[in-house]
Structures are given as structure tokens and as C-alpha cells.
Amino acid sequence: MSEPTPYRIAVIGGTGPQGKGLGYRFARHGHSVVLGSRAAEKAQPVATEVTERLSGVKGAGEVTGATNADAVAAADVVLLAVPYDGHDELVATLPLAGKTVISCVNPLAFDKRGAHGRVVNGGEGSAAESAQELAPEATVVGAFHNVSAVLLWGDEEFLDEDVLVVGDVVEAKEVAMDLAAAVTGRRGIDAGKLRLARQLEPFTAVLISINRKYKTHAGVRISGL
């Protein structure tokens, strides 16, 4: 498979399983990655762990650790991989102007009936749209919401699923669609405008329900293309 242009990617919340897993996959396919954290000393050992996992992988990109803000400053693409709680406060502090920002943040809640989507902005919003409002000079897209962290850190070369990408700017969606190839072996699917993050984000609750029932790590696969 031909690889896209290497990107310099900052992963905000890169010490968590989703950020670490996506960072690992991106670096495995030649992109350079800075794993961000609220504390640089927490990011460093995670970057070392990912680097060790990549030893011997030909063409792998560099993986380093930094504070979230320093990671953003060094990157052209920023992945938001933090919990929804605290998301708005963090995003508001980051120097995101001019960057392509990819959000995989799922506003979910859990109770004794399982996972379910949280209502954002009275049903007229999503985490990705909130990020866009908080960083109006960045271009925000949504992607990787439905990809399991366990599989990202697993041994399969590519995950047998699709990455759905939503956004209002085609060039920014193209970046996320390129990066999806590092995860699934094929480009991501343009799934429409940014406001459709309102559907993609809570849909992860359905996958979590399937995972519980069938003891698996379910993903999304689109037919008919």
C-alpha cells in the first residue's frame, strides 16, 4: 500500500489507551507523533513504551512525549483523545489556531443499564462541534470514534473495519481519511458534515453494548461502496 505524506501529529491525552493506540498505529506507518499529557513526565514513559514496540518496524516515525501544549506547537495535525469531562476546559487552553484537529471524543455516560450517549448542547451539539467553537481558527473533523483501543494496541496488522470521517472542510477530512489507512489498511470514508458527529459519538455506546453481549471489540464496516 502506498503511504500518504507523513504528518506531524500531536495526540492530546496520549497517555490513555485510545491516544496511545492511535499514536502507535500512526507512527507504525511513518508519521511522527508527540504524545501529549497534562504532565510531560507522564508522557515520556508512554512514548518510550510505544517506541520500544516499534523497534524493528521499517520506516516507523519518531514517537516522543511532551505537555499537551508543547505537543500541539510541534504538530500540524492534532488528535483530541481525552475524556469528555474536562474536554472543553482543556481545548480552550490549547494553541490550536491553524491546525487540523481530529476529535475521537465520545461523550458517554454509564449506568446499570450500560453505556449511553450524553446530550450535548441540548441535542444540538457534539464534542467535535464544541472543539470547533472553542478553537474557531482551527479546522475540526471527527474520526476514529468507533475504533477500539484494545484492537489498536493489538497484534493485527490492520483492523477489519472502516473509519468514518465527518467535517465541514474537505481538505481537513482528507487528512483524517489518509491517517485512517494506518489503522484499517484503507482510507477513511467521508461520512458528511461535522454536525454528524452527533450521531457518530454516541453510536459508540451501541458498540460497547455489543462488546458486552458478544465478548468482542466490535467496529463499523460500511457496505455498498
Q: Which residues bind ligand NAP (CB under 6 A)?
A: 13, 15-19, 37-38, 42, 81-86, 90, 104-106, 145, 147-149, 204
Q: Smallest gap, in angstroms, from Cβ of residue 195 to ligand NAP? A: 18
As given in the structure block, the three cell numbers for residue 63 are 514517537
Q: Smallest gap, in angstroms, from Cβ of residue 47 to ligand NAP? A: 11
Q: What is the dihedral of CA 84, 22, 75, 99, to 10 degrees?
A: -50
Q: What is the DSSP string of 152-179?
A: HTSS-SS-SS--EEEES-HHHHHHHHHH
Closer to ligand NAP at the Cβ: 92 or 170?
92
Q: Smallest gap, in angstroms, from Cβ of residue 131 to ligand NAP? A: 11
In the three-class reduction of DSSP (H, G, I as helix; E, B as strand; rest coil), residue 49 is classed as: helix
Q: Cα–Cα distance between 165 and 143 in angstroms, integer?
A: 5
Closer to ligand NAP at the Cβ: 62 or 85?
85
Q: Minimal CA–CA distance to 144: which of 180, 194, 170, 99?
A: 180
Closer to ligand NAP at the Cβ: 8 or 118?
118
Closer to ligand NAP at the Cβ: 170 or 213?
213
Q: Smallest gap, in angstroms, from Cβ of residue 37 to ligand NAP? A: 3
Q: Minimal CA–CA distance to 184: which of 192, 174, 176?
A: 176
Q: Residue 34 pairs with which residues in a beta bridge?
A: 10, 64
Closer to ligand NAP at the Cβ: 18 or 100?
18
Q: Smallest gap, in angstroms, from Cβ of residue 107 to ligand NAP? A: 8
Q: Cα–Cα distance between 52 and 147 in angstroms, integer?
A: 23
